[in-house]
Structure 1
């Protein structure tokens, strides 16, 4: 609550900028516009995420350990309580959908990369349900290298041509006005390309040269002529020649120039003669994190409108400057970065109290912060020889790239210092990357967008909803008893009232992993009603197309990393299996699918009968599917499934197949309501299916668990189901060696991650914390990465080698 009050006061303070900019007096209309923008910003505050991993690349069979940090504007994102991560292979399949609880905008967990994985990368897509309401470009996505000895398959993108793209400052190049036109040259992987070339007009006459300023970016200064085209003729590093047309020249419009100066941004607006004749004034609005921070209205009688924007009262981040005509139609827009991050990021310090670079040696580190404040850190110590990717960190992720569309190459570079030179290079990033959080026409009219995904403002708990009943049949005394049992834990009984809309919930019953529940409704008038558990749980969204981006698989230290990973997997395999006594096979063993078919199917549904059979009961990936149709996608040749849940649409040979639940006809809505964890077996009968009516387009027979597949505990004779909560969070194993003597029988310690702790808590009364860890049997140098966040949103980053 204190943060909210402080934050509200903060924005009231920066709105005072409008009073110190000359000519910034606001009309009633301008005040209405500013009010609409502020209402939008307050109601639709976007969230952004950054994930710190224990290392930068992995080998099949290894565990990816992570800590997630989320921010809303410049404070921790405390409104959302649940964080989702999709782990996607290089073919677009979601391997696992993990769910973590957010506490003060932070959560942690792990993903076990399958030992059989053969891909060269894995894509991480992470989000809150609230983030899904906005442009998918702002969701967190990252491709992580997977180090394997498998040969590359197909094209990797290395043979694709580089691209050169031009970006006129303000949005358009206007005839007769001086324009700055930025450019960016990248290869197929999004990495910068050094180029050389010239700009020529339609007659082939030289206009300007293309000059690289930083990482494939630069700009030209051009006063274009009307009805003239301009072309770039350029060469890449291989001296291959290309031609790229510049954007079309607009005959009329507004040019917006922004220049960097110490502590301020200078701007200049020029209008072409036609625009100047059609509007006698312009409006200029500045926004940060969607909030309005200044408003200016000026006459267009002068040849140019110029001014300065002071920055000292603004936070760090992207300042958007938008120019409107007198009727508030947007004409030009420019983003610029406000580098006031020194007040929002803290430099951590690290001191080695005890060195242990020898094998199994003990190490002690003291991590210090500049001030005493409650903070949570994630600390990773890895073998220095496996390589590291320092191109991004928590500062660049939450202060820059989380607010931009498109890839930024080496974003961490822009936070190495706050010099004017670095800021000028960062301004090239602003000129060559997209940003658009809202639709101006709808926003200015006061129209707010519809919310498709409600915010997860409460944690995942034992909850449910009664279906197939009238609200009038629910009395104030109606309740449900739920008996809950999890593996290796004692069972518990929950008694929850049923509300008028049929819902029940115990906000204290937050749980992890899966649980078996048995339930009994304490109201005879509600007998026969169906109970849907966890009805508001987010369904897994489409994986998107980030996994399709070309990816460079070569990583520094990959050979050494692969060697140690192979040794670790061999040790794990040896310890996993024991030598078994010989067994004489007297009869042919039935497959699990045959066992399920004999147990569940009957009559015309029994046997192979030109069907595709799916053992859902023993499928480890079944629990990641949010409904039966999500699970079926891609598993049945010819069956096309679009949409999900009750909105799913099925098509097989030109029509919809008949759906059966336990061999009884059902519809899509009912089938989608069944928890996949309650399904044991599915048979998809190819068209035509003669076992029932309307089988011309085949049939999908879904069998729910019963008998031995549903344990009667904890309540004999009660209806039962299985529910899934947050993904279980494991603890990173850190061995303690009290002696450096190694027994000949002992397994060799070849860990590449020496230490990982996602929850290093700094005492608010102190400004330092001590951590200790033991070396493995092979490493002689470490890489230490420390990242974190304070409860008021200050970000912490430090990297250092121990060698």
Structure 2
């Protein structure tokens, strides 16, 4: 009998070791093959009026670093009823993308709903997709209707369950009918109506009690709200037998205490404790409770990154018994650039020069919004609280920025209440124990939305005879481009240099066998996700969490801007007709030649068709010498050496990438109509950290035949066009400067990239006609994953 027991024990140890190795191996595969992304969006201001534009910058992270998993980001806009208003797709560069939503004039809902994601994120729990409600100020505000504001309380035993006979910390969260924290106080009574503890909120509706449940007893909280009304809430029933997990903070560690019932079965006497962060296994230990009912230990945290640590307790069969999340703050996740005004103009249309200086040891990707101070600020979260905290929680957190306001013990204790009252469930432990992995329905976007597709309905031999696919792409702006792509054996084709924007018609034919056009089906841009026309989301509490401070000022500025917009349309007012100002020659030239990300933007523009001396230059590069600040050009015949910000700018001919400098250098100046030199960074080619030079050749006359006429075609959708935020320059002569200026957002720049060589950024903007105080918000991420949020008020 003794020998049999020894064999059974040895077998149990071997099985346990095998499961531990499986858990370790499975988690490693999860981390390497199924890394998850999370997203945060910064907006130019907290609320908008109908007809305005929402400007945003999205940051995409995976683990502690900017994500390199996905190349394409999606941002969808819905009304309050979940009806789709806009489906947008943008290229992800440096772990970020930016764009805009135009709010319809006709929208009558009090808010719009933003949903942002990548295709890869859709493979996992959709509760972790980025979603946010944004307040819309109606021209005629509706009267406020009374809502049910009765508070409620939820109780959360630490680890998941209270167990009879085991001391337990039971946290609670009290909220009112709008989802905001409520203050309560009262008592916890047993079923004999005896008081076992007092209950009182400690911070933002949260608190905890300590309770050792007794067999045969049930517990009820009897509490008073702020109006002194009496309420009763039952506590969750305690388990008769089980194990509990308690976590406590310590210096460079998280201490834990594990307890089990006195009569716990054998599977609860040999336990396992596992700690994970960002899908990485950071701690694993076996726990022997055969001769004792409790044991203590500590998880070293000094070497861990800042973020949420998930601690899970398993029985001997690796079934989860308890789980607890806690926050690690090693004070290394944040960097702080220096930011301030070199020249301040708070008067009417005053010029402002703002400087951002990032340490030269940090490569950063930043965005900045400068607004009228009076319009208020969004308190529902910033880049730090979102990417370090709320993007990993399913529950809502009220004013999450507070938990990163300082490193005091009191703030840390309040943050632990958040950990106790919110769930984190990225893992399906049952699947992990079995060695199962997520079902991947959406492959990660490893390439941008370039010209690509697949041919269906033909045989392999017919594909071989097709040769190449010749296509004529006619954009929405009438810009026409041609491309020839080789057809692979599986029917796919692509040209990675041809990036598509907006809607376009693609006319096509097969060079080797054009009869295949009638026999086959060609599908272009297969990797674009379709839109979800309607969604259902929890809209009961999200808008109410926004501050209402500043809405009156914002509504005033918005209504005035709407009035000016009506005037610009040609509205007759008191017998005077105001018409839209004429476009400048350079604006017309840009609209005629540039498209997509090449249109507008912060660039030097050169009109060679109206420059009588341009033909006297030997080359494009000779022409540009000395004309662009910071761009260094050394010419040598048709070749040239180019340098900007310590690297070479990208080159384009008619918006197609050019690898050989001599290709542009050998062009006849008589053939060139227009040159744009984009300041760093340039987003159009996804490799524009050092700026870009785009050269456009002259177009033929209007008598040319319509391209693609008679050929089969398909309508396709590429990237959403990223518009340029209009920031007036009152130091120049521009007809638009004659209009009143009541902008609430004075400056918005979503792409500020710094390097070791170029870490000091100078920005210029002009004040409007009425603002006397600015609010500046800078957010961003460094290449090594550190975050920054700076908010300044200047008055």
TM-score (norm 2): 0.78
Match of 1:737 among 708, 730, 733: 730
Task: Please give the residue correspondences for 1:624-773 in structure 2 after superposition, counting only pairs within 5 Å.
Answer: 713-738=706-731, 746-773=738-765
> 1:328 corresponds to which residue?
318
Q: Distance in 2 between matches of 1:742 and 1:789?
A: 36
Task: Please give the residue correspondences for 1:563-578 in structure 2 after superposition, counting only pairs within 5 Å.
Answer: 563-577=556-570
**CA positional deviation for 1:489:** 5.8
> 1:431 corresponds to which residue?
420
> 2:589 corresponds to which residue?
none
Task: Please give the residue correspondences for 1:516-595 in structure 2 after superposition, counting only pairs within 5 Å.
Answer: 516-522=505-511, 523-524=513-514, 526=516, 527-541=518-532, 543-546=534-537, 548-550=539-541, 551-552=543-544, 555-577=548-570
Q: Does structure 2 retain, via aligned residues, the 8 Å contact 1:512–1:725?
A: yes
Q: Deviations over 1:93-145 (max 9, x none)?
A: 11101111101211111111112222111111110011111111101011111
Q: Does structure 1 retain, via aligned residues, the 8 Å contact 2:730–2:737?
A: no
> 1:7 corresponds to which residue?
none
Q: Distance in 1 between matches of 2:62 and 2:548?
A: 33
Q: Distance in 1 between matches of 2:160 and 2:240?
A: 14
Q: Do the aligned partners of residues 539 and 793 (structure 1) sit closer, same or farther apart at CA in structure 2, a change above 3 Å counting?
A: same
**CA positional deviation for 1:63:** 0.8
Match of 2:362 among 348, 352, 373: 373
Q: Does structure 1 retain, via aligned residues, the 8 Å contact 2:94–2:365?
A: no
Q: Distance in 2 between matches of 1:542 and 1:576?
A: 32
Q: For structure 2, list consecutive stretches of 5 or more residues without a partner in the other structure.
A: 1-15, 574-703
Match of 2:278 among 284, 289, 296: 289
Q: Distance in 2 between matches of 1:222 and 1:291?
A: 34
> 1:481 corresponds to which residue?
470
Q: Does structure 2 retain, via aligned residues, the 8 Å contact 1:254–1:271?
A: yes
> 1:81 corresponds to which residue?
71
Secondary structure, counterpart of 1:273 in structure 2: coil
Q: Distance in 2 between matches of 1:512 and 1:153?
A: 43
Secondary structure, counterpart of 2:49 in structure 1: coil
TM-score (norm 1): 0.77
Q: Do the aligned partners of residues 744 and 154 (structure 1) sit closer, same or farther apart at CA in structure 2, a change above 3 Å counting?
A: closer
> 1:799 corresponds to which residue?
791
**CA positional deviation for 1:289:** 1.0
Q: Do the aligned partners of residues 716 and 524 (structure 1) sit closer, same or farther apart at CA in structure 2, a change above 3 Å counting?
A: closer
**Larger CA deviation: 423-432 vs 760-769:** 760-769
Q: Does structure 2 retain, via aligned residues, the 8 Å contact 1:228–1:249?
A: no
**CA positional deviation for 1:546:** 2.8
Q: Deviations over 1:502-532 (max 9, x none)?
A: 2222221112111121111232563421222
Q: Do the aligned partners of residues 579 and 151 (structure 1) sit closer, same or farther apart at CA in structure 2, a change above 3 Å counting?
A: closer
**CA positional deviation for 1:391:** 4.2
> 2:113 corresponds to which residue?
123
Q: Deviations over 1:546-605 (max 9, x none)?
A: 35323338721212211211111121122123779xxxxxxxxxxxxxxxxxxxxxxxxx
Match of 2:769 among 734, 755, 777: 777
Q: Deviations over 1:61-93 (max 9, x none)?
A: 111111100100000011101111111111111
Q: For structure 1, list consecutive stretches of 5 or more residues without a partner in the other structure.
A: 1-25, 581-710
Aligned length: 646
**Larger CA deviation: 569-578 vs 781-790:** 569-578
Match of 1:167 among 150, 156, 167: 156
Q: Does structure 2 retain, via aligned residues, the 8 Å contact 1:124–1:143?
A: yes
Alignment of 1:260 onto 2:249: yes
**CA positional deviation for 1:541:** 3.5
Q: Does structure 2 retain, via aligned residues, the 8 Å contact 1:37–1:291?
A: yes
Q: Distance in 1 between matches of 2:486 and 2:572?
A: 54
Provide the aligned C-alpha RMSD in A: 2.4
> 1:32 corresponds to which residue?
22
Alignment of 1:60 onto 2:50: yes
**Larger CA deviation: 463-472 vs 492-501:** 463-472
**Larger CA deviation: 495-504 vs 252-261:** 495-504
Q: Do the aligned partners of residues 565 and 452 (structure 1) sit closer, same or farther apart at CA in structure 2, a change above 3 Å counting?
A: same
Q: Deviations over 1:703-724 (max 9, x none)?
A: xxxxxxxx99421210122211
Q: Does structure 1 retain, via aligned residues, the 8 Å contact 2:22–2:435?
A: no
